[in-house]
Structure 1
Amino acid sequence: MQSQRPRIPKRAVHGVLLLDKPLGLSSNDALQKAKRLFRAEKAGHTGTLDPLATGLLPLCFGAATKFSQISLDADKRYTATLKLGVTTTTGDAEGEPLKARTVNVNAEDVAAACAKFIGPIDQVPPMHSALKRDGKALYEYARAGIEVEREARRITIHEIQLMGGLHDQWMIDVRCSKGTYIRTLAEDIGEALGCGAHLTALRRTGSGPLTLDGTVTLEQLADMTEPQRDGMLRDADSLLADWPCVRLNDEDAGRFLSGVRRRLDMADAPNVRVYGPQPKAFLGSAHVTAGELISNRLLSPVEVQGLLQAQERATT
């Protein structure tokens, strides 16, 4: 009789890992691999990257999972490589060619086409996406050869910079709102140029205040000792680093963690991060309305202590 593999004991892990997701791996597979390496009890990612995309994938552990939606809702930044002259069934290099056209463009032409999409625009999600329709992902319909109607969604392209290229290969840097499909943007730019296009490479370089600085690969994590891995975790409040800060004394901190509103002399703010009297005693997120601090997402006292202990371990 084959013996069972011994179960690896899990542990409480708190913080944010900036993973550099590899090519060909789904976001969930990357999360599960990292979760096993940390032996973490609880973990989640902050929005999917396609298997064909690489780059920044913030992973939340323990108490930090309460704030994953913040990163999901944040603006994103990508570098994308466009292949002009060929459209595909999926809008990227994974699909079958649909139509080939002659390419006769220069840098000024590409930059002008990109400029047409700056600002708020309506974008129709691609069939090859994880969006659900009647409980089923759109890509499942697409694989079955079924085209379903999709409503256009309002997104915002904040900036597109032309990074370089020649003839039919061009690289762009895109800063955009959540929910933007870069493959669809690539197709639209191709149509604006009159020759069509598809995406051949995509790398996420930013999510809210987070960048590729300090990212780590799964291979690097696997080669580390457990204390070294723990040292790669950022504080849970790193997801909120660009929000205003509110610091409370002991009494007000205790009341805030109990969900009680606090009066304070501060202008209205839709989002703030809240701390106790200790320098890194992160308590949660809130908003300020009419001089009142009102909680959005609160940590439990156990979670606050867990975060402080994780910070101590990382600095020893």
Structure 2
Amino acid sequence: MQTRSRWKAIHGVLLLDKPVGLSSNDALQKARRLFQAARAGHTGTLDPLASGLLPICFGDATRFAGLMLDADKEYIADVRLGVRTATGDAEGEVLSVRPVLCDVAALDAAIKAHTGEICQLPPMHSALKRDGKPLYEYARAGITVEREPRHVIVRRIDRLSTDLPDFSMRVLCSKGTYIRTLAEDIGESLGCGAHLTGLRRTGTGGLTLQDALTLETLAGMDEAARLARLQPADLLVRDMPHCALPDSAALRLGNGQTVALDALLAGPGELREGMTLRAYGPAGFLGLASVQSGCLRAKRLMPTNAIHKPEST
């Protein structure tokens, strides 16, 4: 007798507060099993050392997960000056210990110097791949490979608590920014070195920890309560401008046909060539469409049987 699969067609976005000690994929799989979701993906890797916001997409929401990879991120980082480690964090072997002779004014100057567009050398203990293998695998084997420096943008750093040689900072940065490297570079500019003692992601793409749940909290809920905490797929694109379409135009767009811009019921005041919009019909979120040659063209659509009501407009 054939056994029915326990995996279900679950759709939506879970804002997970990932614990320290789990990889992003481990956290994803644990959440997926709790929901018994047939399809799931996350929106950007968070190191095992780090805790905090990890949006997880189930089912049709995975169509929009990749858009979050390019989003700005916000972190709170705990840093210890004077000690440099092999991994740039508290888990690595201590490589050097130097006296911390700076004062708070010098620390602030170093922080300011590392704000804006900066160049970073990706750390060996990272998930960045070389010849199909993550750099951390080379590092664990004692091998150092060449890496290309990368330009990233540190939009803002706010120093929070300070008790030298320890301090904490809030960092708002572009994708691809390595916070452990930022901490190390600040320490080197002060002549003493540094490493991360803690890291927590507090935001990504406008999403925050406010509505995030831990795995322990989810495990203590029944199925109905868990499902009630899922967010709609358009949460992932809520910062994009939106437009509303009547039934006939929504049907055309859903079938991959173009829609004349004068058919819009509502939209941004200015429509520019190439602009991407969140498109809504009477039944809810249709997906993403772009302005091309005076028309709206489908870019990434929801399945017609999985239309979601708008998260926000």
TM-score category of the 2 structures, normalised to the smaller one: over 0.9
2:233 to 229, 232, 236: 236
2:267 aligned residue? none
* Aligned residue type for 1:303: A
Give the Cα–Cα distance (whole angstroms) in 2 for the partners of residues 48 and 86 of structure 1. Answer: 26
- Whether 1:284 aligns to 2:273 is no
1:100–1:7 distance in 2 versus 1, CA, 3 Å: farther
1:77 positional shift: 0.2
Provide structure 2 residue ranges, at least 5 long, that are not aligned to the other structure.
Answer: 263-269
Distance 1:77 1:263 in 2: 39
Q: Return the letter of the residue paired with 1:301.
A: T
Mind listing any 5+ residue stretches in structure 1 that lack a counterpart? 1-5, 312-316
| 1:100-179 equivalences in 2 (<5 Å) | 100-179=97-176
Match of 1:293 in 2: 296
SS of the aligned residue for 1:303 comes to: coil
Written as runs of structure 1 = structure 2, the 5 A alignment for 1:1-316 is 9-264=6-261, 266-268=270-272, 270-278=275-283, 281-304=284-307, 307=308
Once the two structures are TM-superposed, the CA of residue 8 in structure 1 deviates from its matched residue by 6.0
Between the aligned partners of 1:40 and 1:207, the Cα distance in structure 2 is 23
Separation (CA, whole Å) in 1 of partners of 2:290 and 2:119: 30
User: Aligned AA for 1:294?
Assistant: R
Would you say the 8 A contact 1:267–1:291 is kept in 2? no
CA deviation after TM superposition for structure 1 residue 294, in Å: 2.5
Instruction: Encode CA deviations 1:160-217: one digit per residue, 9 max, x unaligned.
Output: 0001211110100000001111000010111111111011100000001100011100
Give the Cα separation in 1 of the matches to 2:167 and 2:176. Answer: 23
1:239 Cα deviation after fit = 0.7
Q: CA deviation at 1:234?
A: 0.6
Mapped partners of 2:101, 2:186: distance in 1: 14
Distance 2:119 2:292 in 1: 32
Matches of 1:167 and 1:134, distance apart in 2: 41
User: Secondary structure of 1:29's partner?
Assistant: helix
User: What letter matches 1:24 in structure 2?
Assistant: G
Are the aligned partners of 1:20 and 1:217 in contact in 2 as well (CA < 8 Å)? yes
Structure 1 position 228, deviation (Å):
0.1
**Paired residue secondary structure (1:256):** helix
Contact 1:8 1:39 in 2 (8 A): no
Q: Is the 8 A contact 1:246 1:273 kept in 2?
A: yes
Q: CA deviation at 1:303?
A: 2.4
Between the aligned residues of both structures, percent identity stands at: 56
Verify the 8 A CA contact 1:161 1:174 in the aligned structure 2. yes
1:295 CA drift (Å): 2.4
**Structure 1 residue 292, shift from structure 2 partner:** 2.4
Aligned mates of 1:80, 1:222 — CA distance in 2: 28
Matched-pair contact (CA < 8 Å) for 1:104–1:167: no
